[in-house]
Amino acid sequence: MALGGRDAKGKGFTAAEKQLVIPKGRWFEIAYQVHRHPTNGSVKLWFDGHLIGERTGFSTMHPTKSKFTVGIGKVYHDRGDKTPHRLWIDDLRIFTAKH
């Protein structure tokens, strides 16, 4: 599992990465938090309640564009895998303030 993003120039970065055994046959929780700020933003990622990683003190907002994109996926394969996979998401919750 990896926590990553792109800087203002589109260059990708990895803030944290951890090898996990993904449980089969049961639901598991992936949660992340993004604090949007032009210069002092933060992101955090959890798997089944355990913090995988976080990054703070960087821009999480484009200076002139309001578009914001996040994505979850690729939980059963590595980054180079081009085989189509299916991901079921249940109980998706999105908050606009601290919860």
Domain that holds residue 10: 1-15+27-75
CB 90 within 8 Å of CB 53: no
Q: What is the pLDDT of residues 68-91, one digit of tens each?
A: 666 665 555 566 777 776 667 777
Domain count, the chain: 1
Q: Indicate whether 99 belongs to any domain.
A: no
Task: Give the Cα separation of 33 and 44 in Å (integer).
Answer: 5
Q: For residue 67, report the phi and psi dihedrals to the nearest 5 degrees.
A: -60, 135
What pTM was computed for the model?
0.67
Q: Indicate whether 91 belongs to any domain.
A: no
Confidence grade of residue 51 (pLDDT, cut at 50, 70, 90): very high
- In three-state secondary structure terms, 2 is strand
Task: Give the Cα separation of 42 and 60 in Å (integer).
Answer: 7
Q: What is the pLDDT of residues 9-50, one digit of tens each?
A: 778 888 888 888 877 888 888 888 888 888 888 889 899 999
Q: Indicate whether 35 belongs to any domain.
A: yes
Q: Indicate whether 36 belongs to any domain.
A: yes
Please give the structure tokens belonging to residue 84. 């189509």
Arithmetic mean of pLDDT, 52-63: 84
Q: Indicate whether 50 belongs to any domain.
A: yes
